[in-house]
């Protein structure tokens, strides 16, 4: 007799939540995504899609759509000192030479993922305020008075997760001491700019990066600047473009010239968390930033959320509701070894980018040698590894 489809409730309609919904939907689960906003949407900040997640998204059927809306990142990508001196190339391929790397407008990635789901599987206007469970099911409670019952609940509700407290005593997010200014600029306003390059300038306790989105028609820029006071963790707080330009005064002329073209920007504070003691409690599992919030200095936050999604779908495929708690524990044991490493390495890479070294030569050597870490991340096939555990 066929196993009845698991009912899966996903809290959070961001990249991680929609990736989880697609992966689970395609493996036979009955998914429902709850998003607190009145309509599905994502503010206009850039995000990287790297080979480790792109190969999974292509298997879900999104390859052509991502190719159309992404900004291809190619082999001219490079690291520089603040004065423009070349430090080393940025690895943009996996070990096979596959250049599976895009700069993406978050809204484009989100709409692509949403297109893979039946419209009635996404429920906007549902802010989760409570959770309870018993041996047979889990129930979500929402601010609008609705409730919903599931066999599994996946918390994809970010670094400020509402559901985290039902799994573990919450750890407050740790402020990294930096404010990130970010924005989008039309590439034709910067004649001669390499629209297939990810470029990073490092020095003086701060760093600046630029990469393409939307087929190179737009450039996503981010300036990381130290602050004394904590800045809100928000994608939509309006920044001071004059303060941004002043922070990189005297840097490479390419940076100065680009910032002169900027008319407005946004900022957000950088936060992460130390690894949590656990990610699961019975029928509830944390995913993405709710489980392993990380700094952006390896660009892996969204990519690790996609890996979570695929792994979780493989572990839950054709499982009986009674097996869910034990299955979620196996999933956590499988995933957290890798995400703990990526979290830690993101912190270390931030120190490199911000030149926290007595010797810049040492920093430059580490940057130039960072390809081995990148290959470890990019070569990883989470579906293959998850299946090897499930089928063992």
| Percent of the chain that is helix, strand, coil (3-state, to 5) | 40, 25, 35
**Percent of the chain's residues with pLDDT above 90:** 82
Q: Which of 39-43, 216-220, 253-257, 286-290 has the lowest mean pLDDT?
A: 39-43
Q: Tokens representing 216?
A: 């190179």
* Position 274 confidence tier, pLDDT thresholds 50, 70, 90: confident
Centre a 10 Å sphere on the Cβ of residue 388 and count the other Cβ atoms it contains: 10
Its sign, for the CA torsion 145, 150, 152, 154, is: negative
Nearest CA-CA partner of 26 in 109, 121, 102, 101 = 121
348 CB-near residues (< 8 Å, 6+ apart): none
Give me the mean pLDDT over the 97-124 stretch. Answer: 96
**CA–CA separation, 88 and 273 (whole Å):** 30
Query: What is the model's pLDDT at position 303?
Result: 98
Answer yes or no: are the C-beta atoms of 167 and 281 closer than 8 Å.
Answer: yes
Whether 233 has a pLDDT exceeding 70, the answer reads no
Query: What is the model's pLDDT at position 42?
Result: 59
Nearest CA-CA partner of 262 in 238, 233, 286, 297 = 238
**CA–CA separation, 125 and 123 (whole Å):** 7
**CA–CA separation, 47 and 322 (whole Å):** 38
- Between the alpha carbon of residue 53 and those of residues 121, 131, 148, 321, 390, the distances in Å are 23, 30, 31, 28, 20
> Helix (H, G, I), strand (E, B), or coil: what is residue 82?
coil
Query: What is the model's pLDDT at position 236?
Result: 54
pLDDT higher at 41 or 161? 161
Answer yes or no: are the C-beta atoms of 176 and 270 closer than 8 Å.
Answer: yes
- 352-365 pLDDT, tens digit per residue, is 998 888 888 999 89
Give me the mean pLDDT over the 210-221 stretch. Answer: 97
* Position 186 confidence tier, pLDDT thresholds 50, 70, 90: very high
* Cα pseudo-dihedral 63, 69, 71, 72, rounded to 10: 30
Q: Which of 34-48, 84-98, 266-280 has the lowest mean pLDDT?
A: 34-48
Q: Tokens representing 248?
A: 């990189």
**CA–CA separation, 308 and 289 (whole Å):** 10
Most confident of the ranges 34-43, 167-176, 289-298: 289-298
Q: Where are the domains of the chain?
A: 7-72+97-172+273-354+376-390
Residues in a beta bridge with 209: 200, 222
Whether 232 has a pLDDT exceeding 80, the answer reads no
Q: What is the largest CA-CA distance in the chain?
A: 71
- 63-79 pLDDT, tens digit per residue, is 999 999 999 999 999 99
pLDDT higher at 246 or 3? 246
Answer yes or no: are the C-beta atoms of 122 and 13 closer than 8 Å.
Answer: yes
Query: What is the model's pLDDT at position 348?
Result: 92
Query: What is the model's pLDDT at position 358?
Result: 83
**CA–CA separation, 222 and 228 (whole Å):** 19
Whether 1 has a pLDDT exceeding 60, the answer reads no
pTM of the model: 0.95
Whether 377 has a pLDDT exceeding 90, the answer reads yes
Query: What is the model's pLDDT at position 294?
Result: 95
Give the homologous superfamily in CATH for domain 7-72+97-172+273-354+376-390: FAD/NAD(P)-binding domain (3.50.50.60)
Residue whose tokens read 């996609």: 306
Question: What rounded mean pLDDT belongs to the chain?
Answer: 93
Whether 379 has a pLDDT exceeding 70, the answer reads yes
* Position 41 confidence tier, pLDDT thresholds 50, 70, 90: low
């Amino acid at each position: 007799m066929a196993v009845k489809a698991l009912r899966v409730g996903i809290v959070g309609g961001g990249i991680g939540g929609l990736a989880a919904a697609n992966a689970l939907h395609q493996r036979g689960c009955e998914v429902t995504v709850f998003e607190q906003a009145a309509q599905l949407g994502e503010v206009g900040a850039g995000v990287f899609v790297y080979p480790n997640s792109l190969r999974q998204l292509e298997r879900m059927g999104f390859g052509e759509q991502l190719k159309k809306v992404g900004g291809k990142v190619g082999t001219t990508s490079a690291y520089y000192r603040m004065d423009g001196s070349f430090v080393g190339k940025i690895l943009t391929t996996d070990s096979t030479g596959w250049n599976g790397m895009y700069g993406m407008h978050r809204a484009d990635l989100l709409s692509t993922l949403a297109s893979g789901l039946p419209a009635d599987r996404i429920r906007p206007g549902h802010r989760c305020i409570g959770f309870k469970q018993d041996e047979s099911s889990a129930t979500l409670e929402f601010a609008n008075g609705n409730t919903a019952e599931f066999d599994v609940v996946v918390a994809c509700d970010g670094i400020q997760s509402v559901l985290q407290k039902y799994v573990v005593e919450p750890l407050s997010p740790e402020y990294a001491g930096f404010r990130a200014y970010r924005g989008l600029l039309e590439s034709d306003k910067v004649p001669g700019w390499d629209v297939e390059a990810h470029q990073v300038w490092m020095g003086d306790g701060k760093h600046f990066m630029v990469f393409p989105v939307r087929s190179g028609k737009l450039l996503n820029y981010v300036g990381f600047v130290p602050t004394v006071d904590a800045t809100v963790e928000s994608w939509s707080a309006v920044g001071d473009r004059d303060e941004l330009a002043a922070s990189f005064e005297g840097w490479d002329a390419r940076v100065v010239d680009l910032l002169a073209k900027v008319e407005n920007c946004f900022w957000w504070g950088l936060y992460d968390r130390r690894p949590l003691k656990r990610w699961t409690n019975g029928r509830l599992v944390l995913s993405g930033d709710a489980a392993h919030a990380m700094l952006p200095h390896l660009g892996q936050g969204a990519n690790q959320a996609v890996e979570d999604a695929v792994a979780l779908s493989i572990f839950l495929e054709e499982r009986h509701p009674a097996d869910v708690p034990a299955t979620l524990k196996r999933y956590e044991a499988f995933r957290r070894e890798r995400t703990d490493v990526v979290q830690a390495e993101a912190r270390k890479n931030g120190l490199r980018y911000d030149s926290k070294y007595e010797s810049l030569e040492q920093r430059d050597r580490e940057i130039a040698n960072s390809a081995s870490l990148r290959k470890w991340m990019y070569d990883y096939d989470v579906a293959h590894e998850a299946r090897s555990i499930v089928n063992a």
